[in-house]
Each structure stands twice: as structure tokens, then as C-alpha cells.
Amino acid sequence: MLPAIVLKHKKEESLLRLHPWVFSGAIKALPHGLQEGDLVAVLANDGTPLGTGYYQIGSIAVRMLSFNEAETIDHDFWRTRLKAALALRESLGLQRVDNSAFRLVHGEGDRLPGLVIDCFDGVAVMQAHTVAMHRMRHELAEALADVLGDSLKAVFYKSEGTLPYKANTGAKDGYLYQCPEFDDTNVTATENGLRFRIDYAEGQKTGFFIDQRDNRALLRRYANGKRVLNLFGYTGGFSVYALQGGARLVHTVDSSARAIALAEENVGLNFPDTDRHEGIEADAFRFLQGGRTAEYDIVVLDPPAFAKHRDVLRQALRGYTRLNEAALRHMPAGSLLFTFSCSQAVSREQFRLAVFTAAARTGRHVRILHQLTQPADHPVSIYHPEGEYLKGLVLHVE
Ligand code: SAH
């Protein structure tokens, strides 16, 4: 029997609508001795069972794993969930000879709150965002091996940076599984026919930002003959696509020397002899001073999340405005700006308003050509709109 969490009167309503979070204020009392990461049965005030979740210290106190109280959270449960996640990616056509990078698990979007798994040519990079998922990591790795079969080369656990720091889990990044012939010195994956080296051990997040795949492909469509500036370029994803699209020149700017080295390596993997690309280690805000965007036909702005929490939201919105204004002000007539926000705390409307403010300050005629989001392997449960985080606009500047 799992410890039971009983909700206050009427606080079951969001769960009945399949929203997977229970906020701490909705809970009548926590069972004695409950530990962070424990599985719990959730009950309405009148004792009606609502399902099974796990407990985490914080304002989101319970994340639901199942709305069927009869379902046991065991090996079969994880295997079934992972199988369903894989079936979706298969149906999306993301496992192809020319595409071996995709997100297999996107948290609540795959009914596995607190868990992210990215796959890079058979290497699964697993991120736990909660103590429960951290505790389950070995079971999850076993279930992954069952579901992916021979195609699984390794499972790398990368959670030091994503677990709540107060939890004190002592989590260490490292392999949970490696098949005997696995060689981790040079892992590459293919995305839409382009090759990328994946540095999951040292790189940011899972090592590669799969979420921009469709947006990079859009840039490729427009890049022919253009001068492209990729600000906050990281592994050079946008840059490689622009080069393939026939860009005349591409400049990748990132403040991290390591990122620039990776971007250059990725350009070299795909276009060994090109002289159309230059990597520039610089602060993007500083780079934009002095009207540098006048020299480009397409500018990509994909900064890291400015607002990691709601309390810094206003400051983040000002940051987006400042950045977009600095880019837009000097762009030549007829140029395109691809601008993004990956802050979950910033809504689509708020981001658009921040960019509107930037445009208005320049007084230029700016039109929205595309409104972009995260790709289909980052699905959003309709009951959990918080799962939508990536927002983008393609702007035409006159
Ligand atoms: N566009 C990338 C992802 C960007 S991640 C892609 O498609 O994969 C954000 C990047 O911004 C990181 O590589 C980080 O090193 C870089 N960065 C953070 N602050 C910066 C700054 N002030 N100037 C330039 N780059 C910065």
C-alpha cells in the first residue's frame, strides 16, 4: 500500500481534468514520514481515489504518473510508457537512415513528469528533474533496454544540473549502461541528413538542442545566397542548415569557446572544405553594439532562457526587448529575423509583446511571416499547457 495524500475539499478538480500536478496548497496533510521522491496514492477529500503520483518538496508537491489507481508503478509500467513514447516517434518518421536524433520522452507530454530522454544514434541521454525520477533511473534504464532492444548502445545519465539542488541526491553524471562494442570517443547523430557531434558529457543539457530541428529546416529554405548571423549559436545547428541551404556566408557567435569549437567541428563534418563559415567567440549583446546586423540578410537570435522562474519575468521580458531591438534596428531592408524564447515562464503573448516593443522602438515596418514552436517529438499534453515552452517568430524587416 502506498502512503496516501488526501486533498482539501474541491481540490481534486484539476486532477479530474487530467492536469498532472498537485500544488502544495491543495493538500490537507502529508503522511507522516513521507520522503521526497516517494510514490503516493492521491485521494479526493471524500476518499475517492484519483491515481498515483510521486512527492517532491516544493510548490508542485505531487506529479501524477497515472490517473488509474489500479495501475502499479513497476517495470511493466515504465516499459509501457516508453513503448508508447517510441511508437509516437516512429509514427512521426523520426527514426530514419538520415535522422537518428530525436526526443524520446518529453516529461508531462509523454505522461512521465520529471523525465527527459533524448536519443542520439542509439545513445539515450536521460535527465531527471525530480528526486523520484532520479531514484527510478536504473529501472528506467532497464525498461529502455527492453523497449529499444539492439538499437540501444548506451544510456547516459545527465542530471547533476537538473535535479533540485536542495534535494542532495549526490547524483553523478555517467553511464547507466553501455553495450560491449560502444565507443564513446566520437558520438555523432544525423538530423535531416546533417551530421552533428554530440557532446552529452560536457555539453549543455543533453548535448544538443533537438527542439530547433524544424526551425532550422525552415532557415535552410530561406538561406540561399544570404549572409547569415547565428547569435547564441551553441553547436552551430542553425549554421550548418544555413550552409546547406546555400548561404553565402555564416557567422556563428557564442560566448563559450567550447560551443564555438563544436560549431566549427560540426561545420567541418558536413562541409569539410568550406570557407563560408566563421565561428566568433563573443558576447552576443556586445557583438550587436555598433550596428553589426547591417551586414546580414538573416539573423538568428536563440538565447538561453532569460526567465527560469516567474519572479524574474519582467526582467526577462526587458531582456528580450533589448536584444531584439539591438538586432532589428540596423538590419537591412528585406532581411529576416528568426527570434526565439525557450523560457517556459514567458508565454507566447508575452514574447510577442516584447518583440513588438522592440520593433516599435525602431519605428521600422516589421511583419510576422511565421510563428514557430517546438517540434512534434516535444509534445504538449492538452491538459498541461505548461509543457509548451519554445516560441519563435520569423520577422520580415522593411
Ligand atoms: N541555437 C542553439 C541553442 C542555443 S543555447 C541551437 O540551435 O542549438 C544558448 C547558447 O547561448 C549557449 O551556447 C550559450 O553558451 C550561449 N550564450 C549564453 N549567453 C550568451 C551571451 N551573452 N552571448 C553569447 N552567447 C551566449
Which domains does the chain show, CATH number per domain?
4-66 (2.30.130.10), 75-189 (3.30.750.80), 209-397 (3.40.50.150)
| Catalytic one of 27, 253, 342, 366 | 342
**How far out from the chain centre does Cα 78 lie?**
22
Model confidence at 131, in pLDDT bands (50, 70, 90)? very high
Inform me whether the pLDDT recorded for 307 exceeds 80.
no
Pocket of ligand 1 (CB under 6 A): 209, 212, 232-235, 237-238, 254-256, 259, 283-285, 302-304
Inform me whether the pLDDT recorded for 303 exceeds 80.
yes
Residue nearest ligand 1's atom 19 by CA: 255
Cα 73 to averaged position of ligand 1 atoms, centre (Å)? 38
Residue nearest ligand 1's atom 20 by CA: 255
Cα 390 to averaged position of ligand 1 atoms, centre (Å)? 15
Q: 272 burial class (0-12, 13-18, 19+ CB within 10 angstroms)?
A: exposed
C-beta atoms surrounding 99 within 10 Å:
17
Strands, E assignment, the chain: 4-7, 21-23, 27-29, 39-43, 49-55, 60-66, 101-106, 115-120, 123-128, 154-157, 174-178, 188-191, 194-197, 227-231, 249-254, 277-281, 298-301, 335-341, 366-372, 391-397
342 is catalytic: yes
DSSP for 132-153, please give it. HHHHTHHHHHHHHHHHHGGG--
**Cross-strand partners of 250:** 228, 277
Cα 263 to averaged position of ligand 1 atoms, centre (Å)? 11
pLDDT at 33: 95
Substitution site in 254, 265, 389 for ligand 1 pocket (most atoms within 8 Å of beta carbon)? 254
Residue nearest ligand 1's atom 16 by CA: 232
At 56-112, the pLDDT tens digits run 999 999 999 999 999 999 999 999 999 999 999 999 999 999 999 999 999 999 999
Cα 224 to averaged position of ligand 1 atoms, centre (Å)? 24
Q: What is the mean pLDDT of the chain?
A: 96
Inform me whether the pLDDT recorded for 325 exceeds 90.
yes
What does the block give as the cell for 61? 508537491
